[in-house]
Amino acid sequence: MDSSSLMQYILTGLAQGGLYALIGLGFVLIYNVTGIINFVQGEFVMLGAMLAVTYERMGLPLPLVIVFAVVSVALIGAGLEVISIRPARRATPLTLIIITIGLSMAVRGIALLIWGTDPLVIPAFSGGGPIKILGGALMPQQFWILGATAVSVLGLYIFLDLTVMGKAFRACVINKMGASLMGISPRRMSTLAFALGAAVGALGGVVFAPTLASYDMGMALGVKGFVAAVLGGLTSVPGVILSGFIVGIGESFGTAFISSGYKDAISLFILLLVLLVRPQGLFGIYGGKRV
């Protein structure tokens, strides 16, 4: 194996890892505020991709396709929270997690009825051939995926650290009781968390739509995002981003040197290994507060 092959495995892993990081980010946002592992996250990605196809076929220009798809899915995410999570908010987290599993099945079923079973795609965001980096090659669309991850992290940073609403959101994360004594509604923040998580997931789906948009894509991607989130400690934004890349690169090397059939096994194996050594995840604070 020469260095250009090595570079290709790393680049392939980074591009795929960027998507996993983006999906994992949604898990972290929702977990931080509500304590729920949201298994609808993968379906938000699917909805983002599917709606991008629908809006693109309506003839909308690309920027509007992206914005509309992300906003629509954010509204769907908030709506799902209001109709299904909020009425059951006094239930245990386990019950709430089971509710999200049920929701994900329902969303997948509805998507099947709306869009059918054929895999769909939209044209790549920018044309042109592969871009060479140190002997490896990436398609322009894969830079869009990495760019979307960067934009999401930056956007969340600005929102959480520099706006009043973002500060209220963080207050809920740090101490729910304290926050509600200060007049912040944890209920409203839970809805906001679902909207944000859905928006981030949808953005991942939109940038992935030139590769694949299919009603059943959500589950597999959701599992990868979940692994990235847990690996990163479930609460840390830098943790989930780094973990996403670790999972992506691990998969890419596993495909090259073992078999792509073990791809899922490899990411779960990485997860098990890390959790055995550091049960709190790579970046989790053991028994500490959720930040």
Partner 1 sequence: MKKRMLMLMSVVLVFVLVFVAGCGSASTTAPTSNEKKPFVIGAVFDITGPASSLGIPEKNSAQMLVDQINKAGGINGHKVDLKILDDKSTPAEAALDIKQLIEQDHVLAVIGASTSGASMSMVPIAMDKQIPMVSAAASAAIVRPASDHKWIFKTAQPDDLVAKVVVTYLKAHNITSVAFMPVNNDFGNSGLKEFQAQAGAAGINIVTVQKFEASDTDMTAQLTKVKDAKPQAVIVWSTPPSAAYVAKSYKQLGLTMPQIQSHGIGNKSFIDVAGDAANGVIFPAGKLLAVDTLSASDPQKSVLSKYASDYQAAFPGQALSTFGGHAYDATNMVLDALKASGDNPTASSIRDQLEKISNYPGITGVFNMSPSEHNGLDTSSMVWIKIANGKWTLDQN
Q: 200, 19 in Cβ contact below 8 A?
A: no
Q: Which residues, in sequence order, are CB contacts of 230 under 8 Å at separation 6+?
A: 271, 275, 281
Report in angstroms how near the CB of residue 256 gets to partner 1 at its nearest. Answer: 4
Report in angstroms how near the CB of residue 251 gets to partner 1 at its nearest. Answer: 8
Report helix, strand or coil for 57. helix
- Identity of the residue, 68 or 253, whose beta carbon is nearer to partner 1 in the bound complex: 253
Task: Say how far apart CA 244 and CA 225 lie, in whole Å.
Answer: 7
Distances, alpha carbon 142 to alpha carbons 8, 64, 71, 87, 164, in Å: 13, 20, 22, 40, 34
- Identity of the residue, 108 or 290, whose beta carbon is nearer to partner 1 in the bound complex: 108
Report in angstroms how near the CB of residue 44 gets to partner 1 at its nearest. Answer: 18
Q: Which residues bind partner 1 (CB under 8 A)?
A: 1-2, 5, 8-9, 11-12, 15-16, 112, 117-121, 123-124, 129-130, 137-139, 211-212, 214, 216, 220, 252-253, 255-256, 259-261, 263
- Identity of the residue, 16 or 104, whose beta carbon is nearer to partner 1 in the bound complex: 16
Report in angstroms how near the CB of residue 42 gets to partner 1 at its nearest. Answer: 13
How many Å separate Cα 9 from the centre of its chain?
22
- Identity of the residue, 96 or 249, whose beta carbon is nearer to partner 1 in the bound complex: 249
Report in angstroms how near the CB of residue 214 gets to partner 1 at its nearest. Answer: 8
Task: Say how far apart CA 174 and CA 229 lie, in whole Å.
Answer: 19
Report in angstroms how near the CB of residue 23 gets to partner 1 at its nearest. Answer: 14
Q: Which amino acid, 1?
A: M
Report in angstroms how near the CB of residue 117 gets to partner 1 at its nearest. Answer: 4
- Identity of the residue, 119 or 147, whose beta carbon is nearer to partner 1 in the bound complex: 119
- Identity of the residue, 265 or 285, whose beta carbon is nearer to partner 1 in the bound complex: 265
The token pair that represents 157 in the structure block: 């940073």
- Identity of the residue, 104 or 255, whose beta carbon is nearer to partner 1 in the bound complex: 255
**Angle, vertex CA 11, rays to CA 6 and CA 12, nearest 5:** 100
Helix axes 218-231, 93-115, angle to 10 degrees: 150
The token pair that represents 105 in the structure block: 């099945």
Q: Which amino acid, 132?
A: K
